[in-house]
Amino acid sequence: MTPAKPAQRHQKLVSELRTADYRYYVLDDPELSDRDYDALFAELKALEAKHPELVNPDSPTQRVGDRPRSELASVAHAVPMMSLDNTYSREDLEEFVRRVKDGLPDTAQVRFCVEPKLDGASVELLYRGGKFVEGSTRGDGKTGELITENLRTIRSVPTRIEYEGPLTLRAEVVIFRRDLEAINQAREARGEARFANPRNAASGSLRMLDPRIVAERRLRAFVWQVVETEQFEGSHSASLDRLAELGIPTHRNHTECETIDEIWEAISKIEQKRTDYAFEIDGAVIKVDARAQQDILGATAKFPRWAIAYKFGAERAYTKLLEIKVQVGRTGTLTPVAQLVPVALAGTTVSRASLHNEQVIENLDVRIGDLVGIEKAGEIIPQVVHVDTSARTGDERKFVMPDKCPVCETPVERVTGEVAVRCPNPTCPDKVKGAVLHFTRRFAMDIDHLGESLIDQLVEKGLVKDVSDLYALTHEQVLSLERMGKKSAQNVVDSIQGSKARPLSRLLTGLGIEHVGQVAATQLAQTVVSLPKLLELDATGLAELLANIAGFGPKLTESVQAYLSNEVSRSVLQRLFELQVSIPEPQPERSAEGPLVGLSFCVTGVLTRKREDVHAAIRSAGGQVHDKVKKGTSYLVVGEKVGKAKLDAATKSGAKLINESELEAMIAGTATG
Ligand code: IVH
């Protein structure tokens, strides 16, 4: 096999890495494994080392870093960030206290500090001359990643303090339980996966590259240790108090103890108050309070000998499972939901818990009438995690997944290779309700005054069979609903009508096309521009258009194609068009500076890069992109297989013809003519 020419290989590598970056950063849906990405990157670097003439400012090697692992600079911790030995019993704790005392002179008085163990991501914060100068992740304990800018976005971390000396602090970054749901909803709206728990959300956010996104994550930091001892000698508990005085956030909850009984009581108090904390705690930390004693005790290879963690079990409550109801979601998936005797768990009363699917029920062997264990795995939605089979009386019943939809009685479908069971009826009332609710959401068409119960009524009365019916609703029809006054009815109609002016991307998000979240919807909308243009496309036109959207893989493409070739969905779109719903998608802003300012480009033919990528590169260099060659188009960028019509139009309009490498040279600012 003859190896590809270096220039061709270079372009191919650049294009593949760019697509991979896009999927990783923008779509958060990588297709390439880290290892494959690194291999491509290494190959590109080697190729550029051998052929320096191929390096251009646009190459992924020339960016400020690439992905988090290589993008975030490494930083050595002057004092290693160790972890803590764990215990789960009072006996283990007694053993710890004995070991501590054995390690200190006989005459020593030992005091302990007991505090909550925060379940987040640990970081180091450096203050010099009263300023926050550097922050890093724990990493492997010896070397972390530099995340100063991300930590600066955490409002609770002061950027200036009234303390001149060097100060090295260790803290836990957490997300409040109540904030996680909002973050997850936003992720879902963008078609991204939910974070399983606040810890994952916190550590994922900390390592993000764009501090603006980090700022949206509502992170908080609480300091649990002062490393630098200058002026902070004495005790750990006194240091925490001192920090609080300086306006540095600490968990503000520590108890000084002497005996094992006192320690045990302090731990129990923390455990009792576990749900009062706005963030997750997973145990208590018991520390020898005096720094001098900490120094004598020292550390093993892994843990300090002066501290230990007492870990709590996951919070669980037992209650009776009364019934298993089956819910039908917007996509038609049937979800079994446990109906429970209400029980208090982690700060709320729980009366329903998800059982996900038949497989879960089978694995747990859950039966109706069982005494079941419920846990909240960091998430707000409780789960059935255990069955107390010893409490069975023999009256328990096995659950059978219905073979007809519980709402519309259509026989359900099983998707091969999936556990999910679905109702295939597009007019199933619960699917319609779910679909309409999704359509009205803030991230979609943002229709106020139209809550769940109104939607239920509209669907049940047959006034709304699909989302297009919303726009045909009259004031009288809305007024005929329960508990509806004239003014409220008007508000509903007004906000529905007002939503007609949302851009196409919002409409596409609201349609709930499988795999199409906000990001994909926006890309599609920017490419197709308007609803009538979308409806005009034939299958070939659509396939071509989708193939040119960066990051649209086979799953997304097939889903959009299936949606647009389905007669029912097409007629909904047609009706929305007739009712004048949605305005053309505004095109992304051009950069106000760059080598292409004042120039306009039309791109045609097959290029080595996706057309969307070429458009984006032109725009970010300040250029304008035209769909068609028109009067005033400065350049026609010509790829392969270009039609004669386009070339003729270009010649007529006076646009200059250039090829892809000429364009790249212009973007790089190295063009001579
Ligand atoms: S003291 C030398 N105190 O737990 C280690 N750690 O398993 C001293 N953590 O990496 C650790 N809350 O991220 C300490 N109040 C607390 C803590 C705490 C949470 C985390 C920390 C550490 C891990 C150790």
Q: What pLDDT, in 10s, does the model give residues 301-329?
A: 889 999 999 998 777 889 999 999 999 99
Instruction: Name the least confident of 11-15, 100-104, 170-174, 515-519.
Output: 515-519
pLDDT of 516-535, one tens digit each? 887 789 889 999 999 999 99
Domain 6-62 has CATH 1.10.287.610: yes
Q: Count other C-beta atoms under 10 Å from residue 66's C-beta.
A: 20
pLDDT of 469-496, one tens digit each? 999 999 999 999 998 999 999 999 999 9
The whole-angstrom separation of Cα 155 and Cα 144 is 22
Specify the residue for token string 């890495």: 17
Q: Could you report how far apart the first and last alpha carbons of the chain are, in Å?
A: 38
Instruction: Mark residue 346 as left, alpha or beta (left: phi above 0; alpha: psi -120 to 50; beta: remaining).
Output: left
Say whether pLDDT at 551 is over 80.
no
Query: Where in the chain are all domains bearing CATH 2.40.50.140?
Result: 317-414
| Rounded average pLDDT over 79-96 | 92
Q: Count other C-beta atoms under 10 Å from residue 175's C-beta.
A: 28
The whole-angstrom separation of Cα 150 and Cα 383 is 33
Query: Where in the chain are all domains bearing CATH 1.10.150.20?
Result: 429-501, 504-578
pLDDT at 63: 43
CA-based nearest residue to 323, from 396, 376, 426, 270:
396
The whole-angstrom separation of Cα 87 and Cα 234 is 27
CB 224 within 8 A of CB 89: no
CATH class of the 429-501 domain in this structure: mainly alpha
* Beta sheet of 600-604, edge-to-edge order: 624-626, 600-604, 635-638, 656-658
- Report how far ligand 1's centroid is from the alpha carbon of 81 (Å): 9
Type of residue numbered 639: G
Q: Which residues make beta-bridge pairs with 257? A: 112
- Report how far ligand 1's centroid is from the alpha carbon of 302 (Å): 13
* Predicted TM-score (pTM) of this structure: 0.52
| Dmax (CA) of the chain | 99
Query: Where in the chain are all domains bearing CATH 1.10.287.610?
Result: 6-62
- The two three-digit tokens of residue 608, written as one number: 């080595």
Among the listed residues 45, 50, 101, 117, the single catalytic one is 117
74-311, what's its fold? Answer: D-amino Acid Aminotransferase; Chain A, domain 1 (3.30.470)
The whole-angstrom separation of Cα 200 and Cα 280 is 12
- Report how far ligand 1's centroid is from the alpha carbon of 378 (Å): 19
- The two three-digit tokens of residue 477, written as one number: 């029809």
Helices and strands of the chain, counted as H and E runs: 25, 24
Q: Are strands 219-226 and 367-368 parallel, antiparallel or unpaired?
A: unpaired
- The two three-digit tokens of residue 412, written as one number: 């359900």
pLDDT of 241-295, one tens digit each? 988 888 888 888 899 999 999 999 999 999 988 878 888 898 999 999 999 999 9
Type of residue numbered 272: Q
pLDDT of 34-60, one tens digit each? 678 878 988 998 999 899 888 876 577
504-578, what's its fold? Answer: DNA polymerase; domain 1 (1.10.150)
- The two three-digit tokens of residue 391, written as one number: 């409490």
Is 656 a residue of the active site? no
CA-based nearest residue to 354, from 316, 319, 327:
327
Top mutation candidate among 84, 137, 288, 302 for ligand 1, by most atoms within 8 Å of CB: 84
Helix 539-547 with 554-565: angle, nearest 10 deg: 160
| Rounded average pLDDT over 1-6 | 68
The whole-angstrom separation of Cα 325 and Cα 339 is 7
pLDDT of 211-225, one tens digit each? 777 777 878 899 999
Give the C-alpha distances (Å, rounded to integers) separating 111 from 251, 291, 517.
Answer: 20, 11, 55
CA-based nearest residue to 154, from 207, 206, 210, 209:
206
317-414, what's its fold? Answer: OB fold (Dihydrolipoamide Acetyltransferase, E2P) (2.40.50)
* Cβ(114) – ligand 1 distance below 6 Å: no
CATH class of the 600-668 domain in this structure: alpha beta
Top mutation candidate among 79, 172, 297 for ligand 1, by most atoms within 8 Å of CB: 172
Question: Cα-Cα-Cα-Cα dihedral of 315, 321, 324, 327, to 10°?
Answer: -40
Say whether pLDDT at 629 is over 80.
no
